[in-house]
Structure 1
Amino acid sequence: MGAVKTTRMPRAVREQQMLDAAVRIFGRRGYMAASMDEIAELAGVSKPLVYLYLNSKEDLFSACIRREATALTEAVRAGVRPELPADRQLWEGLRAFFTHTAQHPDGWSVLHTQARTHGEPFAAEVGELRREFVAFVTQLIAVTAREAHRDPDLPEREVSGLAEALVGAAESLAAWANATPGVTARQTAATLMNFAWVGLDNLMTGKPWTPPAA
């Protein structure tokens, strides 16, 4: 019998197959436990071909982080309509965020868990994604303040802190939702809106919570 002929694929398509396999293995087994052998096997290619395309395990992991971060950012941007009021923009952004993380749990594991626990340069790449989300939320809070009926001038430090808190809550909720059967992306987004927006609305309309006297 003659040798079995394999179908030749464009390099970009083959590389995406490798990244798909790598995200699945990294997301489920972790960076340290994942092996290039099992990634190659899942992708249906030889291990030397993975090294030829992506150089090393570290470079492969970095490529996974960049791809998943780009996909998540694009999903959130596509979900937000700038012409809507600030609360609707936040709602649509959160819903897009939780929908994407629910549909790509391995990718979210790579970004939220694996990349952060293995030091530089992986943590730095994820940090850039997080800064972009914080900037987006900061802008929404600033827009909301301008639209408020009362004094809209919140201290910049307070706006930044609120944005950091909201992004941190979204990250934790995404991990929780992916580990909790039956929770939908819409329910998760509504949970965070109920937690965050009521407080923001009170703050914008001059009814902030104040700590008790010492």
Structure 2
Amino acid sequence: MPRAVREQQMLDAAVRIIGQRGYMAASMDEIAELAGVSKPLVYLYLNSKEDLFTACIRREAAALTEAVRTGVRRDLPADRQLWDGLRAFFAYTAEHPDGWSVLHLQARTHGEVFAAEVAAMREDIVAFVTQLIAAAARDAHRDPRMPEREVAGLAESLVGAAESLATWANATPGVTARQAAATLMNFAWAGLGNLMGGQVWTPPPGEA
């Protein structure tokens, strides 16, 4: 079997075990057994548990970022771009709960090196969301002079809310990715005041 394919099997196994049991509890023996390889082969390919974990973080971060970016069509109105980006984010985190656990829970709590890897991914997503929300916020406020700092703050708030909501949605039976995206869209687009007053943003008709 090609090395690249075998490495992906190892990373798949590591993400599953670390995501479900935690980094400290995960053992290289377990990972090797789940991947269907010997433990020495895991060390040969990925050097150490720390390097294996770093490779998992980088792979999952790249996949999540790509899912969000490709989920947005830039030719659509601002609210649709924001909606599609949120829906892509929640769909990915719902479909890959172990990967999301690795990124959002495990990597942030087991050392500065791992946390820095996730911080780099988050900066990339925040920068992308800043571009999206700039147009959305300016359209919503009808103010082309909205300060860049305010736009950046909105992007940070939205990403932070999405991260927390994704973790909650994955732990709450029956909450779909679409429902999570709509919940945050209502909060971000309609605004809390409008939402409390019953002015709810609704997804485009005919979408699954």
**TM-score normalized with structure 2 length:** 0.89
The answer to whether the 8 A contact 1:66-1:125 is kept is yes
In the TM superposition, 1:90-169 aligns within 5 A as 90-147=82-139, 150-169=142-161
Q: Which amino acid aligns with 2:173?
A: P
Cα deviation, residue 120, structure 1: 1.8
Q: Using the alignment, how far apart are the partners of 1:149 and 1:169 within structure 2?
A: 21
CA distance in 1, matches of 2:96, 2:137: 34
Q: After TM superposition, give the deviation of residue 165 of structure 1 in Å.
A: 0.6
Corresponding residue number in structure 1 for 2:203: none
Distance 2:142 2:89 in 1: 31
What amino acid maps onto 1:134 in structure 2? V
Gaps of 5+ in 1: 1-8, 203-214
2:36 is the alignment partner of 1:44? yes
How large is the RMSD of aligned CA atoms in angstroms? 1.6
SS in 2 for 1:121: helix
1:49 maps to a residue whose letter is: L
Q: Does the C-alpha gap of structure 1 residues 145 and 173 become closer, same or farther in structure 2, counting only changes over 3 Å?
A: closer
Structure 1 or 2, whichever has the larger Rg, is: 1
* Separation (CA, whole Å) in 1 of partners of 2:169 and 2:57: 21
The corresponding residue for 1:33 is 25
Post-superposition shift, 1:39? 0.4
Give 1:53-72 correspondences, 5 Å limit: 53-72=45-64
1:78, 1:37 → 2: CA distance?
36
CA–CA separation in structure 1 for the residues paired with 2:188 and 2:60: 26
What count of residue pairs does the alignment treat as equivalent? Answer: 194
Give TM-score, length-normalised by structure 1. 0.87
Structure 2 gaps of 5+ residues are 195-208
Identity over aligned pairs, percent: 85
Q: Which runs of 4+ in 1 moved over 6 A?
A: none
